[in-house]
Structure 1
Amino acid sequence: MICKESFFRIIRKPHSSEKASSLVNKNNTIVLKVAKNANKKDIFLAIEKIFEVKIKRINTLIVKGKIKKKNKNHGENWKKAYITLQKGQNVNFINGSE
């Protein structure tokens, strides 16, 4: 059994963008930034335990970090998860910026 503390290490924060907010309204899909080493099964368990919702589908992708021209440094890569909830389920986040 995975402890609840490890669930909070998997889920970093909600991702707010224009596309993410439209997905919430249209498809009942939330977008989260998650740990890079987390797989779909870990994300599934964490979301169900923390938010107590039923999940229909999870899609994940790795977003490549941007190159900063001044120092020629790369931003860090991060993982994004699109979580589609079943009908009648919703997750309310506090509105705010990242």
Structure 2
Amino acid sequence: MSFSQERLYQVLLAPQISEKATYVAEKNEQVIFRVVNSATKPEIKAAVELLFKVQVDSVQILNVKGKVKRTSRGMGRRQDWKKAFVCLKAGQEINFVEGGAA
């Protein structure tokens, strides 16, 4: 499948960096990204391979429901968002401190 490069540059929003994400990255050689709600697994795979010059083994997607929060005007709700667990092939690594593949 071929995707337009414009679309691939818009698919990944940000890396999800948390204590759980670093644990998953060390244990399973996975990287977690926040992605666009309309993104598909093949698009995410192509985007990661294009941007970071690494080989992707598989992609799992998780839809995160927005939290209900109280505001001054009553109850409000945050937006739903999508999280992608990208499993890299053996020996591959993404280093976010340097901004590229290691």
Of the structure 1 ranges 5-14 and 59-68, higher mean CA displacement relative to structure 2 is found in 5-14
Match of 1:37 in 2: 38
Q: CA deviation at 1:62?
A: 0.6
Q: Distance in 2 between matches of 1:73 and 1:40?
A: 31
Structure with more of its chain in strand, by fraction: 2
Q: Distance in 2 between matches of 1:5 and 1:35?
A: 13
Match of 2:77 in 1: 74
Match of 2:21 in 1: 20
The amino acid that maps onto 2:78 is G
Runs of 4+ in 1 over 6 A off after TM superposition: none
State the superposition RMSD in angstroms.
1.4
SS in 2 for 1:6: helix
Q: Distance in 1 between matches of 2:23 and 2:6?
A: 31
Of the structure 1 ranges 65-74 and 76-85, higher mean CA displacement relative to structure 2 is found in 65-74
Structure 2: gaps (5+ residues)? none
Q: CA deviation at 1:2?
A: 3.1
SS in 2 for 1:87: coil
The amino acid that maps onto 1:77 is D
Q: Distance in 1 between matches of 2:86 and 2:94?
A: 11
Match of 1:84 in 2: 87
The amino acid that maps onto 1:73 is G
Structure 1: gaps (5+ residues)? none
Structure number with larger C-alpha Rg? 2
Q: Percent identity?
A: 33
Q: CA deviation at 1:4?
A: 2.6
Normalised TM-score (structure 2)? 0.86
The amino acid that maps onto 1:72 is M
Residue-pair matches, total? 95
Match of 1:5 in 2: 6
Normalised TM-score (structure 1)? 0.89
